[in-house]
Amino acid sequence: MPADTAVAGLKQKSLLMKKTIGLDRKDTMASQKEIGVGIAGVGTIGTGVVKKLSRDTIFEREANLKLKLERIVDKRAERNVFGCPFSTDFDSIINDPKIDIVVELMGGYDPSYEFIKSALEKGKTVVTANKAVIDRYGKELDELAIKNKTYLFFEASVGGGIPIISAIEIGMIGNSTDSLIGILNGTTNYILTRMSEGSTYEAALKEAQAEGFAEANPAFDVQGKDAAQKLAILASLNFDCKVSSEQVHTEGITGITREDIAFAAELGYEVKLLAIARRYKDQLELRVHPTMISKSHPLAAINRNINAIYLSGDAHNMLSGEGAGRKPTAGAVMSDIKNAAKALQKEYSPNKHFGENVFKIRKAKEINSEFYLNFSGSDEPGTLRELAGVLAEEKINISQVRQIAKKRGDYVPIVVMTDLTNQATIESAIKKITETGKRLRFNSAIRVGLNESEETTQIFFAEQTKEMIRETLGPIDIENYNGDILVADLKSGEITKLCEKFALGKIGIWKNKEGKIRSFIKVSNHPNYPKGIYMSTYSKEEVKEKGKRTIDEKIPGAHRIELPKNEDPIQGAFASYKDPIPLVLHK
């Protein structure tokens, strides 16, 4: 290629690039509109925002808007090091006519709440990273912003660099999300990760503090309160309502030991501090507590100071990233500042965050879950019998028990995994053991699994079993799936009754490779059983003759079916089944 042709080509490409980003306009700088920004609070996050504001030129070119830092206020005069107007008087930002966007980064309730309120009343657009204020006063401030025809932005209040709020409000607006399950606190996740690697709680906490992942006083984080505030905000936005952290059942990680985490690993679990919000028609479930989750779950792989939120409903999505720290949080604040600047160039349109839905909050003690229980038992005959007797009195079924040979003085560790029960029942059993048990000492209790069995599940069955099902469950809604195949949405308790009636044991859950089929054979303590579709192989006469049977014997009353990948699993299962009483669960 001739040299002059190559040069001409490069010039043409350069011109095209300039047009793309707007640099071909000679009057670009002259026509730029300035947006005045004032920052209240220049600690770690505030300093990060100031630096980003001073370096950001891309936004100026793209939006043709110049963000100008007009003023900084901070109660500590020694922070006047940024080379722009500085004051310790917070009203100086609110009353400055050159400031369009007020950025609140002070934290806490006082004076942040009154400051934000005054700014909105003056018609200023407010950007904040203050989860405490949004948790407690979010709806009031939201309504105040609309009343004064301005905006309230708070992306950085939850998840640091994870754009979870915009994802819920904008990115996933087309999906109905029924549950949010998240690791929302980097301090506790870092500690639990290091404990899984062999550290003690105390050593892991000191390391987190040295790395800057934990405060000097870590109580708010390790007690679960930080995660509870964040969960309340996300639940409010997702379910179009307003709930507060005071309504969230909250437990921390201070009672978790290295031994608990080691036992969990042996059983195929990771221990995480989970924040869980679920909707059940007119009820909400809101809770934060340590949970043993299967190592196969996406959240189990979230380690160190990383946060993640798993959303389930019409679709299943997980967002993860750094949940705290100067750079990720300052980045989220900058995103809000830029979105606010763009919004101010358009005709005002209300941006309502919190809705009017009202839900009854489910009591956490009444929510069913499997539990891990850790006891110390005296090394003598009858100890296990005493433990089993107390649990039986409380109608707590044991799925498995392990007595570890390693002694702690005169005691040996005993680990119990229960079937579905609730916290109130577990607490009653622990109280009895503590008050009357001479051989046993209680150490810890942790919920196991994500309690998906609380949700309704579709069960498919043959036409000829309809009367038997109605006899067992009473009046339920039954629809036709295809020909003589029927379908109904049932809760776990109803499914358990059917499993017992059809001689199938108690409910457990498995998925096939495509993640579509779930069996209803209890295999939670038999990890080697193959996955797939299981159905009853008993007729009515055999059910009467054999009575209730369980998987623990040899999978009696069950039959596994292999299906081609592209075949409708329900239709295929029934087509290949010969017995008159098939049942299939499908999620």
Would you name the residues annotated as active-site residues?
Answer: 230
Give, as one character, the DSSP assignment of residue 184.
Answer: -
Q: Is the dihedral of CA 319, 324, 325, 329 positive or negative?
A: positive
- The region that residue 321 occupies, defined by phi over 0 for left and psi between -120 and 50 for alpha, beta otherwise, is left
| CA-based radius of gyration for the chain | 29
Alpha carbon distance 549, 499 (integer Å): 9
Q: Please return the burial class of 488, using the count of CB atoms within 10 Å of its CB with bins 0-12, 13-18 and 19+.
A: buried
Q: Is the dihedral of CA 569, 575, 576, 578 positive or negative?
A: positive
Nearest to 116 by CA among 141, 82, 148, 85: 141
Long-range contacts of 243-248 (CB under 8 A, 24+ apart): 243/284, 243/286, 243/359, 243/361, 244/135, 244/136, 245/135, 245/136, 247/286, 247/361, 248/275, 248/286, 248/287, 248/288
Q: Which residues contact 340 (CB under 8 A, 6 or more apart)?
A: 101, 125, 127, 151, 153
Q: Please return the burial class of 233, using the count of CB atoms within 10 Å of its CB with bins 0-12, 13-18 and 19+.
A: buried
Alpha carbon distance 74, 82 (integer Å): 12
Secondary structure, 3-state, 12-38: HHHHHHHHHHCCCCCCHHHHCEEEEEE
Token duo for residue 242? 């307003």
